[in-house]
Structure 1
Amino acid sequence: MGKYILAHDFGTTGNKATLYNSEGKLIGSHLSEYETFYLDVNWAEQDPADWWKAVCKSTKKLISESGIKKEEIAVISFSAQMMGCLPLDKNGNPLRRSIIWADQRSVKQAQKLREKVGADKVYQITGHRISPAYSVEKIMWIMDKQPEVYEKTYKFVHAKDYIVNRLTGEFVTDYSDASGMNLYDINKKRWSPEIISAIGLDKDKLPEVRSSFDVIGKVDKNIAEEVGLKAGTPVVLGAGDGAAAGVGAAVVREGSAYNYIGSSSWIALAAKKPILDQKQQTFNWIHMDPEMYMPCGTMQTAGASYNWLKNTLCQAEQQAAQNLDLSVYELMNLSVEAVKPGANNLLYLPYLMGERSPHWNPNAKGAFIGLTLRHTRKDIIRSVLEGVTFNLKIISEIFENEIDFSKIRVIGGGAKGKTWRKIMADVYNKEVLMPEILEEATSLGAAIAGGVGVGIFSGVEVAEELNPIIERQTPDPENVEKYSKLYPVFKDAYSSLTGIYDRLSEID
C-alpha cells in the first residue's frame, strides 16, 4: 500500500487538495479556484466541469511539488460543500450547472413543501427547517421550471459525488450529505417516503447512500492519466464539509463540541441522537461516523462582522499594520485588550446579512445599542467580538438543554486570535480549547475518512491524536459575571427590534 492520503475539499471558491502521510502529517496543499455564476437575484451555480479541472490541476500540482510518485498514494478521499443539486444522466454527464448551497431561488417550492408536508413534520423527519437552501427544494424547482432536465436525470448528486462518479462510475452519496437535503429520514436512515410521495419525486433518481469510509471503487484506467493518479487507486467517498470539519476538529465522542469561526460561524457537537429544538433554531447532520449525529447552529456574519469593522472604521489600524508588517487584526485585538469586558455596556447585534441560527430572520439588521459620547473606537471593536459571541451562546444553550458540555474546541481563521478566545471562554463560561490544526481541519477530516477506509487508521478517534490541543483558555469568574448581566439584554435587544427590521425591509 502507498504511504500517502490525497484529500480534496471542495469549497465555495475553490478546491483545496491536501496530501497527508500515513502518520496524519500534512505534506502539502494546493488551491485551485473556480467561478460561481450569479445569473439572477439569489441564484448561485457552478459548473461541475470546473470542479473536475480543479481536481486534475491540483492533484498534478500537489504531486509534483511534493516530490512523490503517484504510485505512493494509497487512497483519494473527499469533503465538499453541501446542500447542492446536480442532475446527472446515466453516463454521469451533468444536465445543467449545479445549483449550490447559497442559491435561494426555490422560495415557492419551499412553500409548496410546507403546504404538502408541514414545517414541523419536515423538521421531525429530516432534522432541518424547510428552506430554499436545501437540495429537495432545488430539485422541486427543476421539476417545475426545467421538466425536460428532470425527465433526463438519472441521479441527483452533490459536488464530491460527481467527482467520485468521474473516477469510478458509481452514483452514490454519504450519510452526511444525504442528511442535508430536507429529504432524508435521519432517524430511520432512509429516503423519506412521505416527503417523496408528497412532492411527486421519483425515488430512483436519488443516489445510494453509503458510509463516508466506504471504498466506492478504484480510479478507472480511462481517467487515470487525465487526473494524474495511478489506475486502481482506491476512492473513498468522504463526507460533506460540515461533517469533515467536525472530525478534523476531533469532535468524535458524544458531548464533544467545536466552534468554527470564519466569515460565518457555527457550533456543532457529536451526539448519539438528533437534537430537535422546539423553535427549530438549530438543525442536525449525520456525523461522518454514521452511528452518530452532529447537531449544529450556524450564524451568518461572525468573522464577516470583524472584517466589515476593519474596512469601515479601522483605517488607522490598517495603515499601522502595513507599516509594521503585522496583521491588522492583531492591532485590532490590542485595542480590544485595552477595554474592559462589556465594552462599557455597548452592545453589537451581528445581523449584517439577516440571520440563520438562532433567529432565521432574513430581515434582521446589524445595530450598535447603547452608544454614548464616552464610547471610543476601542469600545466598538470589542463590542463586535462580544456581540458575535453572545449570538453563538444562544446556539450553545440550545444544545446544553440536551447535552452537558463544559469544553469547546475552536477552529477556523478566527480561532487564531487569543483575545477572541478569551471572550468566548468568558461568554460561554466554558473552557475553550485551541487545537494544533485550525484552518486545515476540514481537509484533515477528509483524509481521516480515506485513511479509515483503507485501513491506515482504525477509526475517527485518531483525530484526537492528529489534532491535539495546544492551548486552553479558562473562564474568568469576574468577566463571566459581567457577561451574564449583559447577555439577557442582548437577547431582548434583538426581540425589541424585530418590528423595526421588518419596516426597514419594506422601504425601497
Structure 2
Amino acid sequence: MGKLIIAHDLGTTGNKATLFDPEGECLASSFFGYETFYPDALSVEQDPEEYWKAVVLSTRALLEKARVKKEDIGVVSFSGQMMGALPVDERGVPLDRIIIWADRRGVKEVEWVRERIADEEIYRITGHRLSPNYSLAKILWFRNHRPEVYRKARKFLLAKDFVVFRLTGHWATDFSDASGTNLFDITEERWSTKILEAVGIEEEKLPPVFPSFAVVGEVTKNAAEEVGLLPGTPVVIGGGDGACAACGAGVVEEGQAYNYLGSSSWIALASQKPFYDPQMRTFTFHHLAPGLFMPTGTMQAAGGSYQWCRDTLCGEEVKAAEKLGVSPYALMDLEAGKVPAGSEGLLFLPYLLGERAPWWNPHARGVFIGLTPRHTRAHLIRAVLEGVSLNLRIILDAFREQGLRIASMRIIGGGARGDFWAQMLADVFGLEVLRPVYREEATSLGAAICGGVGIGLYRGIGVAKELVKIRDQFAPREEEKSVYDRVYPTFVKSYLALCEVFEELGGGRL
C-alpha cells in the first residue's frame, strides 16, 4: 500500500483535492468549483451531483499534476462544509438539492422545536443553541414542505458523507460533523434519543456515527473507474471543516485558538470539555479525537463581506488586477491602507446573511453607519474589513469573559493570505497573530492527518504539533489597538440599536 494521502475539502465554493506525503508536505492540489443557488432571501442550496463531479475531476487532475500513480495512494480522507441536509434514497441518489449551512429558511421549524424541548436543554446536549442554520431545522423543513421527499429519504446526509457513500457504498458520518446538526449528544458521542423523540425524526434516517479517524470503507470498483484510484483504497471519514481546520492549524491542545477566515469565519479553541456560555453566544463542536471538544463562535459573512465589497464597489481593482496578474484583494488592501484605523468614524455591520455568533439573528442585515461627504470608497473598503474584525472580537471576548486564557491567535483560510488583514486582526484582538505555513491548505492538512491516523501512519492527533509550522507573526500596535478599543463599544451599540429595524426588514413586515 502507498503512503501518500489524498485529502478532499468539500467547501462552500468548490472541492479542493490535496496530496500530502507522510511528513505533512503538500505535494500538489487541484480545485473544482460548483454553483450555489439562492431561491429566495433565506434559502441557499447546492447540487450534490456537482460535489461528486468535483471530486472525480479534482482527483484525476491531482494525480496527473503530481505525476504519481494510483498505487502510491494509501488513503483518501475528507473535510466538508457542515450543517447541511441532503435527502437521498436507498441507493444514495439525491432526492433534492442539499440545503447548506448558510440557509435560514427553517425559522418556523425552530420555533416549533422550541415548544417541545427547551433551548437551554438543546444547548447542553448538543453544545449548540437552536438555529435554522443547523441540520435539524432543515430536515424538519423537508418534512413540512416536501413531505414526499422526506418519506422517500433513506438518509439525510452531510456534504462529505454523500461523497463517501458514492466512493464506498457505506453510510457514515463522524463525531465532528454530526455535532453541527442540533441532533448529536456531544458528550455521549451518539445521536440524541431525547431530541429525536421530541421532534419525531427516526434515527434510521441518520447515518451511523464514527470517530473521525475511522476507516469506513474502501473505494469500490465502479467508483475507482470514475475517480482513477485503485479499488480497495481505504477511505477515512474525516471531519467537519471546522474541526479539520483546527487540526491543520495545530490547535489540538487546551488553550490553543485559531481564526478561520473564509466565506464565513470562526474562532475556535481546543478543550477537554464543552464550553457553555451563559448567554449562549458561542457553541461547542466535537473535535476530531474522541473526548476532545472545540468551543467555537462562527459569523456568517466574513470573507463573504469582502467579496461583496469587491463585486459591488471595486470594479476598478478587479480590472487592474486582471491586467497586473494579481489578486483584486491585494489592491483593495492597498486602497484601504490609505485610511487610518477606525475609518474616520465609519462603521460597517457585516450581517449580509443574518448572523450566528454572537447575535443569533437571521434577520440582521449589512449596514454602513456614519457616512459623511469626506468618506471615500477607500473608507468603505476599510470599514468592511474592520466590521468583520470587530464582530470576531465579540466572539473572542465571549470566551475571554469566562476566564479562558488565549495567548495568541492562529489564522488560516483564504482571508489569511494578506498581511493587511492579519495585522488589523492583531490590533483589534489585542493578541499576537500567528500565520502557519499552510493557510489555505490547513483544513486539507487536518483531513490528511485523519487519514494518516486511520491507516496507522500517525499515532494520533498530536502529530499536528510536529507537522504544523508557523511562518509569520503579527504583534498588536498600541496606537491602532487604542483606536479599536474606543470604536468597539459603539460597534456593539449600533447593532443593538437596529434590532427592531432588522426585524421589520427581514421579518416580512415590509
TM-score by length of 2: 0.92
1:15-37 Cα offsets, whole Å, 9 max, x none, are 22221122221122222333445
Quick check: 1:77–1:235 contact (8 Å CA) kept in 2?
yes
The answer to whether the 8 A contact 2:351-2:366 is kept is yes
Q: Distance in 2 between matches of 1:154 and 1:500?
A: 42
Aligned to 1:200: 200
Segments of structure 2 that go 5 or more residues without pairing to the other structure are: none
In structure 1, distance between residues paired with 2:52 and 2:323: 41
d(CA) in 1 for partners of 2:69 and 2:356?
45
| Superposition RMSD in Å | 2.4
Q: Does 1:404 align with 2:405?
A: yes
Distance in 1, matches of 2:320 and 2:231, equals: 53
- Paired with 1:450 and 1:352, the residues of 2 have a C-alpha distance of 36
Q: Distance in 1 between matches of 2:69 and 2:114?
A: 53
Partner of 2:270: 270
Provide the secondary structure at the position in 2 that maps to 1:238: strand
- Which residue pairs with 1:219 in the alignment? 219
Q: Give 1:159-198 correspondences, 5 Å limit.
A: 159-198=159-198
Alpha-carbon distance between aligned partners in 1 of 2:65 and 2:408, rounded to the nearest angstrom:
39
Aligned residue number for residue 115 of structure 1: 115
In structure 1, what is the Cα distance between the partners aligned to 2:326 and 2:159?
37
Q: How does 1:421-432 map to 2 (within 5 A)?
A: 421-432=422-433
Q: Residue type of the partner of 2:431? A: K
Shift of 1:42: 3.6
Give the Cα–Cα distance (whole angstroms) in 2 for the partners of residues 305 and 237 of structure 1: 32
* Inter-partner Cα distance in structure 2 for 1:364 and 1:220: 46
Which position in structure 2 is the counterpart of 1:288?
Answer: 288
Question: Residues 492 and 43 from structure 1, CA distance in 2 versus in 1: closer, same or farther, beyond 3 angstroms?
Answer: closer
CA distance in 1, matches of 2:254, 2:298: 20
Deviation track 1:138-181 (CA, whole Å, cap 9, x = no partner) reads: 22233334444444444332222222223333222100111111
TM superposition score normalised by structure 1: 0.92
Aligned CA distance change for structure 1 residues 236 and 326 (closer, same or farther; 3 Å): closer
Deviations 1:208-252 (A, max 9, x none): 211110111222334432332112211111011121111112111
Q: Which residue of 2 aligns with 1:6?
A: 6
1:371/1:140 CA distance change after superposition, 3 Å:
closer
Aligned mates of 1:365, 1:201 — CA distance in 2: 33
SS at match of 1:2: coil
Counterpart of 1:488, as a letter, is P
2:483 is aligned to: 482
Secondary structure of 2:113's aligned partner: helix
For residue 114 of structure 1, report the CA deviation from its aligned partner: 1.0
Classify 1:344/1:142 alpha carbon distance in 2 versus 1 (closer, same or farther; 3 Å): closer
**1:320-331 to 2 correspondences below 5 Å:** 320-321=320-321, 324-331=324-331
| Partner SS, residue 263 of structure 1 | coil
Per-residue deviation, 1:11: 1.9
Structure 1 residue runs of 5 or longer lacking an equivalent are: none
| Shift in Å, 1:315 | 4.7
Secondary structure class of the residue paired with 2:115: helix
Residue 482 to residue 56, structure 1, CA distance change in 2 (3 Å): closer
Q: Output the amino acid matched with 2:284.
A: N
Which residue identity is paired with 2:207?
Answer: P
Matched residues in 2 for 1:206 and 1:487: separation?
Answer: 43
1:354 aligns with 2:374: no
Aligned to 1:300: 300
CA–CA distance in 1 between the matches of 2:441 and 2:110?
A: 34
Deviations 1:63-112 (A, max 9, x none): 22322111110001111121122334444444444333333333332221
Map 1:69-468; keep pairs closer than 5 Å: 69-318=69-318, 320-321=320-321, 324-400=324-400, 401-468=402-469
Amino acid at match of 1:213: F
Deviations for 1:275-331, whole angstroms, at most 9, x for unmatched residues?
Answer: 222222222210112221112112222223333334444455455545554433333
Partner amino acid for 1:496?
A
Residues 389/408 of structure 1: CA separation in 2 closer, same or farther (3 Å cut):
same
The answer to whether the Cα contact below 8 Å between 2:408 and 2:433 also exists between their aligned partners in 1 is yes
Count of aligned pairs: 508
409-418 or 457-466: which moved more?
Answer: 457-466
CA distance in 1, matches of 2:200, 2:210: 24
Contact 2:102–2:353 (CA<8 Å) still a contact in 1? no
Give me the whole-angstrom Cα distance separating, in 2, the residues matched to 1:376 and 1:146: 48
Does structure 2 conserve the Cα–Cα contact (< 8 Å) formed by 1:275 and 1:402?
no
Number of the residue aligned with 1:55 = 55
Given the superposition, is the C-alpha separation of residues 126 and 493 from structure 1 closer, same or farther in structure 2, using an over 3 Å criterion?
A: same
3-state DSSP class of the match of 1:484? helix
Q: Does 1:21 align with 2:21?
A: yes
**For the residues of structure 1 that align with 2:325 and 2:152, how far apart are their CA atoms?**
56
The verdict on how the C-alpha distance between 1:19 and 1:141 changes in structure 2, with shifts beyond 3 A counting, is: same
Partner-residue secondary structure (3-state), 2:498: helix
C-alpha deviation, 1:411, in angstroms: 1.1
SS at match of 1:254: coil
SS at 1:266's partner residue? strand
Deviation at 1:257, TM superposition (A): 1.0
